[in-house]
Amino acid sequence: MNNISTSAPTDPTMARILQFYCPFTAETNPEGARILRATVDWASRYDLGSGNPAKTEMLAQTGVAYTVCANPHVRGELAQALSDYNAWAWTINDFVGAAVSTAEAVYRLGRWERIVRSPQSWHRDGNLFESAGGEVLERIRGLVTPVQWQRFAAGQSQWIQAMAWEVAIRELARPLGVNEYVAMRISCVGVYAATSYFDMTEGIELNETQWSDPLVRAAVEAGAFAGGLDNDRYSYLREKDLAIAKNNIFTAIRTDYPHLTEFEVVDQAIGLRDQCLTQYLHLRDKALPTAGDTLERYLRAVDLMIGGNLNFAVTGIRYQIPDVASGVTLTRQPPTGNSFRLHIPTIEWWWAQ
């Protein structure tokens, strides 16, 4: 990865938040410029920004940036369709973060989840956003195998349904401790959604025995969630002053450990992320010797996604706050600091493998 900053923030807490241990070399899809032009046109045709051209362009660019960074091996029509879909999906993400009632959010999320399962469900209702989802998901389904489609649809469905949990938590205004936050965030940050791309973007069909192996599932969940915690870090500056308060790993640690200083909270959060990544590497390396080509390619896709997610942080205009874009630094050296592992029951099974 070549975007290591030479001018980290002067605030030591922010400098710590934006310094990432990442042993992977990121790749980028060379078709990005072509894909972006077409996705901007597609997003404009369906007015994803609801009358705001700048927002429409931001959503399009975000969708493309994620595709080319996190899934760099996908090409052609499928790369285009996934970029369009990702723009649509980020619109859902923004909707959940907006000031809408829980009932309205759950109602809309339910309809959108059904579009993922059955793209033509609402195509006659005249809703432009739902028409966009139906069109692009129908395109994806026509470009992939039934196995690849079902894995993708299941992952997206799970993500959309999980966001109803996030909306309910916001209405209840209850503070989340680390265990409940991690359980919620694994689903809402898209751990299962992001990994559901891999069969189709890598051109494989992982067999069911390999896919359901607890060792593989623990590895994939640990690695993808490390990327999710990275999102908490590079989103911090963007979200800290939002009108709608959002839970993140920092607020969760402070809920459970109110005596910690701000820097100690950050240190614990980064320690947790690094432990998730280290456990992923341990489980992946345990699986690889007997993996075979297909499973090896699937696990390497996790590597690409983790490294690509950090590239996405500095190339996606959604996150381009100057202090983030100029402040992200990367190191390939394993962490040597905080070795204390928080007791988090919802993910203890990773270490049982």
The proportion of the chain whose per-residue pLDDT surpasses 90, expressed as a percent, equals: 73
Distance CA 239, CA 260 (A): 22
Most confident of 4-13, 103-112, 336-345: 103-112
C-alpha angle 133-49-160 in degrees, rounded to nearest 5: 40
Q: What is residue 18's predicted lDDT score, i.e. its pLDDT?
A: 85
**pTM greater than 0.85:** yes
Lowest mean pLDDT among 56-70, 139-153, 233-247, 330-344: 233-247
- E strand intervals along the chain: 19-21, 329-331
Q: What is residue 5's predicted lDDT score, i.e. its pLDDT?
A: 43
Q: What is residue 1's predicted lDDT score, i.e. its pLDDT?
A: 41
Interhelix angle 262-287/292-315, rounded to 10 degrees, is: 150
Reported as a pLDDT band with limits 50, 70 and 90, residue 38 is very high
Question: What are the tens digits of pLDDT across the range 80-108?
Answer: 999 999 999 999 998 988 878 899 999 99
Question: What are the tens digits of pLDDT across the range 105-164?
Answer: 999 999 999 999 999 998 888 899 999 999 999 999 999 999 999 999 999 999 999 999
For 111, counting Cβ atoms within 10 Å of its Cβ (0-12 exposed, 13-18 middle, 19+ buried), the class is middle
Is the pLDDT reported for residue 240 higher than 70?
Answer: no
